Amino acid sequence: MTVLERLSSGPVYLICGGIITFVAVVCVVFLVRAWRMGKAIGMDPQKMKQAVTASATFSVLPSVGILLGVIALSGSLGVPWPWLRLSVIGALHYETQVAAAAAEQVGLAELSGSLMTPQAFATIALLMSLCIMWGMILSTLFNSRYLKRLRGKSADAPEGAKKQGGFGDLAMSAMFVGMVSAYIGSYIGDFVSGAGKLAFAGSWTPLAVAAVSAAVMGLLTWLAEKKNLRWLDSFSIAGSMLVGMLAAVLIGK
């Protein structure tokens, strides 16, 4: 049995599957607690249901994208470990980069299943866990104090502002606008200067995909608002993404 075969064997599945099951149970516990609390304080169950439905449909396509990360890493690390990493704590853009850097540190010429040794795997796996755990540590140590501090600050805001969510609400939307702008800006930059400064010969696919996705989102929003098809709201992001991704297939042909 090769190292790669042993990495996809029953005991490794059991270890990784057990941790994933634990995290799934944690999610269910948080979900049920929040739902009960929402009902107890008089929130509209319809709104809560809408949030759950929209989040579920929203997450399907990105999850399939994440599954590709599992497939990509399975050739060098077996199936269960990438499955665990990308189900819990990991991030698609992070895992491959850290795994490759870790392989270099243990002396592998490249991240490859045929070169993998038991010690190389254990070292790579530990480094992958170690590098990305800080969000969880900070959350454990400071979440409560940090939020209390922010709440204290918002309590000083004018009464009218508090009722409308205050500056905090505007700041959150602005932060998100900043996030989207950074990504869209990077697609524009990649197209204009990706193949040489101001050459306009870089990849235009991400920009076109974003534009198609935005156009479909515009259409679905119009249908929901003007034609009173409110049910579309829960599926508009997922639907727009799907059409955007289809556009990428057509462009790629």
Partner 1 sequence: MENREQQLQQYMRGTHRLGRLVSVVTLVLLLGAPFLIGAYLGAMPDLGAVARGFVAVGLVWTVSSVVEFLVYTPMLGAGGSYLAFITGNLINMKIPCAINAKDMVGAKSGTTENEIISTLSIATSSLVTILVLALGVALLTPLRPVLQSETLAPAFANVVPALFGAMGYKYYRQNLRLAAVPLVIMSILFIFVPSLTSSTSMMIIPSGAIAIGLAWLEYRRHIKEGRV
> In the bound complex, what is the minimum distance in angstroms from residue 2's beta carbon to partner 1?
11
Binding positions for partner 1, 46-65, rule CB under 8 A: 47-48, 50-52, 54-56, 58-65
Amino acid, single-letter form, for residue 212: V
Binding positions for partner 1, 28-47, rule CB under 8 A: 28-31, 33-35, 37-38, 40-41, 43, 47
Binding positions for partner 1, 95-114, rule CB under 8 A: 97-98, 101-102, 104-107
Report if residue 73 touches partner 1, rule: CB under 8 A.
no
> In the bound complex, what is the minimum distance in angstroms from residue 119's beta carbon to partner 1?
4
Binding positions for partner 1, 170-199, rule CB under 8 A: 170-190, 192-194, 197-198
> In the bound complex, what is the minimum distance in angstroms from residue 98's beta carbon to partner 1?
6
> In the bound complex, what is the minimum distance in angstroms from residue 107's beta carbon to partner 1?
8
When the beta carbons of 46 and 227 are compared against partner 1, the nearer one is 46
Query: What distance, in Å, lies between the first and last C-alpha atoms of the chain?
Result: 41
- Total residues at interface with partner 1 (CB under 8 A): 163
Size of the chain in residues:
253
> In the bound complex, what is the minimum distance in angstroms from residue 214's beta carbon to partner 1?
4
> In the bound complex, what is the minimum distance in angstroms from residue 252's beta carbon to partner 1?
3
Interacting residues of 233 by C-beta distance below 8 A, sequence separation 6+: 50, 54, 224
> In the bound complex, what is the minimum distance in angstroms from residue 53's beta carbon to partner 1?
8
149 CA to centre of own chain: 27
Q: Which of 15, 45, 201, 231 binds partner 1 (CB under 8 A)?
A: 15
DSSP string, 161-195: HHHTTHHHHHHHHHHHHHHHHHHHHHHHHHHHHTT
Q: Which of 66, 115, 223, 232 binds partner 1 (CB under 8 A)?
A: 66
Backbone phi, psi, residue 17, to 5°: -60, -35
Q: Which of 105, 65, 98 is nearest to 81 (CA)?
A: 98
Binding positions for partner 1, 206-245, rule CB under 8 A: 206-207, 209-218, 221, 233-234, 236-237, 240-242, 244-245
CA angle 205, 206, 208 (to 5 degrees): 65
Distance CA(215)–CA(237), nearest Å, equals 11
Token pair of 239 as six digits: 């639907």
Binding positions for partner 1, 111-170, rule CB under 8 A: 117-119, 121-123, 125-127, 129-140, 142-144, 146-147, 150-151, 154, 158, 160-161, 164-170
Within 13 Å, how many C-alpha atoms sit on residue 165's CB side?
A: 6
Interacting residues of 106 by C-beta distance below 8 A, sequence separation 6+: 119, 120, 123, 124
Distance CA(184)–CA(178), nearest Å, equals 10
Q: Which of 91, 115, 223, 232 binds partner 1 (CB under 8 A)?
A: 91
